[in-house]
Amino acid sequence: MKILGNSTQGIEPTQKRLLYRCCVLPIALYGFQLWFYNRAPLSYPLKILGKMQRRAAIWILGAFRTSPTGGIEAIAGLIPIKFHLYKLTSRSQLCSAALPKNHLIKTLIEDAPNTYSKPPLHSINSLTDHQKSSIKDHLVDLYNKLHGILPSFSPS
Protein backbone atom coordinates (compact mmCIF):
# COMPACT_ATOMS: atom_id res chain seq x y z
CA MET A 1 0.00 0.00 0.00
CA LYS A 2 1.38 3.39 -0.98
CA ILE A 3 1.25 6.39 1.30
CA LEU A 4 -0.15 9.51 -0.33
CA GLY A 5 3.01 11.55 0.35
CA ASN A 6 5.25 8.94 -1.27
CA SER A 7 3.16 8.50 -4.41
CA THR A 8 4.69 11.61 -6.03
CA GLN A 9 8.34 10.66 -5.60
CA GLY A 10 8.77 9.96 -9.32
CA ILE A 11 7.71 13.46 -10.34
CA GLU A 12 10.43 15.94 -11.25
CA PRO A 13 10.64 19.23 -9.29
CA THR A 14 9.74 21.25 -12.40
CA GLN A 15 6.60 19.16 -12.83
CA LYS A 16 5.73 19.62 -9.14
CA ARG A 17 6.16 23.37 -9.52
CA LEU A 18 3.94 23.39 -12.60
CA LEU A 19 1.30 21.34 -10.76
CA TYR A 20 1.35 23.78 -7.84
CA ARG A 21 1.20 26.90 -10.06
CA CYS A 22 -1.54 25.56 -12.35
CA CYS A 23 -3.78 23.66 -9.93
CA VAL A 24 -3.27 24.76 -6.33
CA LEU A 25 -2.70 28.52 -6.65
CA PRO A 26 -5.79 29.29 -8.79
CA ILE A 27 -8.02 27.42 -6.34
CA ALA A 28 -6.42 29.02 -3.27
CA LEU A 29 -6.55 32.54 -4.73
CA TYR A 30 -10.05 32.35 -6.20
CA GLY A 31 -11.89 35.52 -5.20
CA PHE A 32 -8.83 37.16 -3.61
CA GLN A 33 -10.05 40.58 -4.75
CA LEU A 34 -12.76 40.42 -2.11
CA TRP A 35 -10.17 40.72 0.66
CA PHE A 36 -6.96 41.93 -1.03
CA TYR A 37 -7.28 45.65 -1.71
CA ASN A 38 -5.82 48.90 -0.42
CA ARG A 39 -5.77 49.24 3.38
CA ALA A 40 -7.52 45.94 4.02
CA PRO A 41 -6.38 43.92 7.05
CA LEU A 42 -4.31 41.20 5.44
CA SER A 43 -2.31 39.51 8.18
CA TYR A 44 -4.38 36.35 8.65
CA PRO A 45 -5.03 35.41 4.98
CA LEU A 46 -1.42 36.14 4.03
CA LYS A 47 -0.18 34.04 6.95
CA ILE A 48 -2.28 31.06 5.82
CA LEU A 49 -1.22 31.48 2.18
CA GLY A 50 2.42 31.84 3.24
CA LYS A 51 2.22 28.55 5.13
CA MET A 52 0.66 26.90 2.09
CA GLN A 53 3.41 28.19 -0.18
CA ARG A 54 6.14 27.14 2.24
CA ARG A 55 4.75 23.60 2.37
CA ALA A 56 4.54 23.55 -1.42
CA ALA A 57 8.16 24.73 -1.77
CA ILE A 58 9.33 22.03 0.65
CA TRP A 59 7.32 19.45 -1.32
CA ILE A 60 8.69 20.66 -4.66
CA LEU A 61 12.32 20.51 -3.56
CA GLY A 62 12.14 17.71 -1.03
CA ALA A 63 13.88 20.05 1.40
CA PHE A 64 14.02 19.86 5.17
CA ARG A 65 11.32 21.57 7.23
CA THR A 66 13.99 23.70 8.91
CA SER A 67 15.09 25.27 5.62
CA PRO A 68 14.59 29.06 5.39
CA THR A 69 11.39 30.05 3.62
CA GLY A 70 12.86 32.70 1.33
CA GLY A 71 15.62 30.40 0.18
CA ILE A 72 13.48 27.42 -0.69
CA GLU A 73 10.90 29.62 -2.44
CA ALA A 74 13.66 31.17 -4.54
CA ILE A 75 15.18 27.80 -5.44
CA ALA A 76 11.74 26.37 -6.23
CA GLY A 77 11.07 29.34 -8.52
CA LEU A 78 8.12 30.73 -6.55
CA ILE A 79 7.70 34.42 -5.86
CA PRO A 80 6.47 35.43 -2.38
CA ILE A 81 2.70 35.16 -2.15
CA LYS A 82 2.19 38.86 -1.38
CA PHE A 83 4.00 39.88 -4.56
CA HIS A 84 2.06 37.27 -6.53
CA LEU A 85 -1.18 38.86 -5.28
CA TYR A 86 0.09 42.33 -6.28
CA LYS A 87 0.85 40.98 -9.75
CA LEU A 88 -2.62 39.45 -10.08
CA THR A 89 -4.25 42.66 -8.85
CA SER A 90 -2.43 44.81 -11.38
CA ARG A 91 -3.38 42.42 -14.19
CA SER A 92 -6.99 42.53 -13.06
CA GLN A 93 -6.92 46.32 -13.05
CA LEU A 94 -5.50 46.33 -16.58
CA CYS A 95 -8.37 44.10 -17.70
CA SER A 96 -10.87 46.46 -16.09
CA ALA A 97 -9.27 49.43 -17.79
CA ALA A 98 -9.66 47.74 -21.18
CA LEU A 99 -13.43 47.30 -20.81
CA PRO A 100 -15.70 49.10 -23.30
CA LYS A 101 -16.98 52.54 -22.28
CA ASN A 102 -20.55 51.35 -21.85
CA HIS A 103 -19.61 48.58 -19.39
CA LEU A 104 -21.07 48.96 -15.89
CA ILE A 105 -17.71 48.88 -14.09
CA LYS A 106 -16.28 51.42 -16.52
CA THR A 107 -19.21 53.80 -15.90
CA LEU A 108 -18.68 53.52 -12.14
CA ILE A 109 -15.00 54.43 -12.31
CA GLU A 110 -15.13 56.81 -15.28
CA ASP A 111 -13.83 60.29 -14.48
CA ALA A 112 -15.77 62.24 -17.09
CA PRO A 113 -19.47 61.46 -17.47
CA ASN A 114 -20.66 59.96 -20.72
CA THR A 115 -22.24 62.56 -23.03
CA TYR A 116 -24.96 60.15 -24.20
CA SER A 117 -26.47 59.49 -20.80
CA LYS A 118 -26.71 61.17 -17.45
CA PRO A 119 -23.97 60.27 -14.94
CA PRO A 120 -24.72 57.29 -12.69
CA LEU A 121 -25.88 58.17 -9.20
CA HIS A 122 -23.52 55.69 -7.57
CA SER A 123 -20.42 56.70 -9.50
CA ILE A 124 -17.17 56.98 -7.58
CA ASN A 125 -16.59 60.55 -8.78
CA SER A 126 -19.86 61.59 -7.11
CA LEU A 127 -18.23 60.89 -3.72
CA THR A 128 -16.36 63.52 -1.75
CA ASP A 129 -12.62 63.20 -1.16
CA HIS A 130 -13.25 62.27 2.47
CA GLN A 131 -15.66 59.50 1.44
CA LYS A 132 -13.18 58.18 -1.13
CA SER A 133 -10.43 58.06 1.48
CA SER A 134 -12.61 56.19 3.99
CA ILE A 135 -13.86 53.53 1.57
CA LYS A 136 -11.83 50.35 1.34
CA ASP A 137 -12.90 48.62 -1.83
CA HIS A 138 -11.49 47.08 -4.99
CA LEU A 139 -13.32 49.58 -7.24
CA VAL A 140 -11.89 52.57 -5.36
CA ASP A 141 -8.45 50.99 -5.69
CA LEU A 142 -9.04 50.62 -9.42
CA TYR A 143 -10.26 54.23 -9.69
CA ASN A 144 -7.18 55.52 -7.83
CA LYS A 145 -4.83 53.44 -9.96
CA LEU A 146 -6.38 54.50 -13.27
CA HIS A 147 -6.56 58.19 -12.43
CA GLY A 148 -3.24 58.44 -10.62
CA ILE A 149 -4.78 59.42 -7.30
CA LEU A 150 -2.45 57.71 -4.90
CA PRO A 151 -1.48 58.87 -1.43
CA SER A 152 1.77 60.78 -1.56
CA PHE A 153 4.30 61.63 1.09
CA SER A 154 5.36 65.22 1.58
CA PRO A 155 8.46 65.72 3.79
CA SER A 156 7.57 69.33 4.65
User: How many distinct helices (H) and strands (E) make up the chain?
Assistant: 8, 0
Same domain, residue pair 25 and 52: yes
Same domain, residue pair 62 and 111: no
Closest CA to 47 of 1, 85, 81: 81
This model's pTM is above 0.85: no
Query: Does residue 51 lie within any of the structural domains?
Result: yes
- What integer pLDDT is reported at residue 49 of this predicted model? 94
Domain region containing 130: 99-147
pLDDT tens for each residue of the chain, 156 residues long: 344 455 556 889 999 999 999 999 999 999 888 788 776 667 888 899 999 999 999 999 998 989 998 899 999 999 999 899 988 888 877 777 777 877 777 766 665 555 555 555 556 666 666 666 666 566 667 766 666 654 555 565
Query: Does residue 65 lie within any of the structural domains?
Result: yes
* Three-state secondary structure string covering 28-87: HCCCHHHCCCCCCCCHHHHHHHHHHHHHHHHHHHCCCCCCCHHHHHHHHCCCCHHHHHHH
For residue 93, the surrounding DSSP H or E stretch is helix 81-97
- What integer pLDDT is reported at residue 10 of this predicted model? 81
